[in-house]
Every structure is written in C-alpha cells, then in structure tokens.
Amino acid sequence: MTIQLISENKVAGGLHQQFEFDSVALKSTTRFAIFLPPQAIQGQSVPVIYWLSGLTCSDENFMQKAGAFKTAAKLGLCIVAPDTSPRGENIPDDTEKSYDFGVGAGFYVNATQKPWATHYHMYDFIVDELPNVIENHFNVTAQRALAGHSMGGHGAMMIGLRNPDCYSSISAFSPICQPSQCPWGIKAFSGYLGADPEEWRAYDSTELIKAIDSNQFVPMLVDQGDKDNFLAEQLTPEPFIDVATQRDYPLTFRMQEGYDHSYYFISSFIDDHLHFHHQHF
C-alpha cells in the first residue's frame, strides 16, 4: 500500500507528519498524523500509542493541542492519530449536518445500516488496517496502546476490551462509558447499527467489561474532570466503575477537580498517560 506525505514538521527532536492513503476498510482516501520520536528517526523500533479523538475532531486536534511531544520524545513513543470518520465528496453525512453523527462522528463502529455501511467501518480501520500501515512503513514495534478523548475515549476502551491481546494498555480522557444508554450513543448506534439494542452491546464498554475474561484484563487509566458539562448526561462513568470494581479490573479512575471537557484538561494530564503506557510496554 502506498501512503503519501502531505506535511512534515520537526518538533521535540522528532517529526510530526501527516499522510493520506486509500483505505480498504473505509473505501475512501483517509488521513492520519504520526509523531516519530528521535529514536525512531535514528533507526530504533519504538512502540505505538494510537490516539482516538472525539466528536468534530480530525487527525489534527490532539497533535496541535495536547502538548505530548516532549514527553513522547523522551520516552521513545510513537503517537498515531487517525481521523474520526470517513471523509470526502462521496461520503454520506447527516442530512442535518449535526456534530454528533455522520462525518466527524464515526464512533469507531462497523456500520451495518444504509447508507453508512459502505464506508463507516472505523472499527476495522483502527483494529486492523491502520496498524498494518504503520508497522509496514515506520520504525515501530508491534507493541500497541490505545488512548482517546470523549467519543475517542469510548473507542479506545471498547476496542481495547474487545481485543485485549492486541494492546498493552488503555487510557482515556472523559470517555463515553455507556454509549448504549446516553443520547450521543443512542443516536449514533441507532443510525449506524439499527434499532435493536442488542446489536449495540458489542460496542458498549460497560457491557464488555462485564464479560471479558479475567485472564485478559488490560491495565486502564481514565481521567475525568468534575466540571465537565457532559459528565452527567453523556459520559456516565459510574456504571462502568461499578462493574470494574466488582470484577477487580485493573482500572485507575481519577476524578480531577475543576477540569472540564477541553484540551486544557488533556494537556494538563497527558504526561501521566504517556508514562502509564510506557511502563506497560
């Protein structure tokens, strides 16, 4: 597979690059951003953290706002940030152009309903296609971790719980913890997966953590701000925490006083997350 470089910047002794390629899973051209630490540029293979962003975001938001490069360079960590949905002229979008469904809001599922089923296979893209591209084109190992924010926090937790053999660790900021029971998730799952709530359970982290084998537990770190406007209605971490506690899952959940849903919050604690993943590689 050919990937095309579209931008490059030196930062923290490493490189931030953007590439695009024709995705089989998404049946469209897609873009990702990658931070290669100095170690990778010098020929050393390094582990990869896949960052999944939230609603309305692209590959650019985390890379420009999180302030992760200096610590990632010091620890020798590659960071990859894909887009949040298929995108392009022939990609279906919500007719009302709402921010929480359609383009920019793929929810990291494999859509089964028309017209979304042709292109909206973000789950397959993240789990299979993107890692294959990264591991075939860059100086990286097969060691992977997942992290994300909001909708992307849902994606990181859900994908990690469904594929525990593929990831060393999982972390999230302000994740949608029980999407089958909140307005964002119900809207997205109804559109992409259909009206049967049983079909939604396979993409709901609170349901998945109930069923995962204890031999496959993957360490998880979650940070949540107590001043987050979406906390009570959309993010609902309590049921997830309750099940994790009952199952003795290795979850570290931190409620951070005074923080909201923004990248000010993420940038304040991103170093903790990078060190967390580094210790589990």
Q: Is 150 a catalytic residue?
A: yes
Catalytic residue among 154, 261, 273, 277: 261
Q: Is 83 a catalytic residue?
A: no
Nearest to 24 by CA among 103, 86, 101, 107: 86
Catalytic residue among 28, 58, 150, 205: 150
Q: Is 196 a catalytic residue?
A: no
Catalytic residue among 83, 204, 223, 228: 228
Active site residues: 150, 228, 261
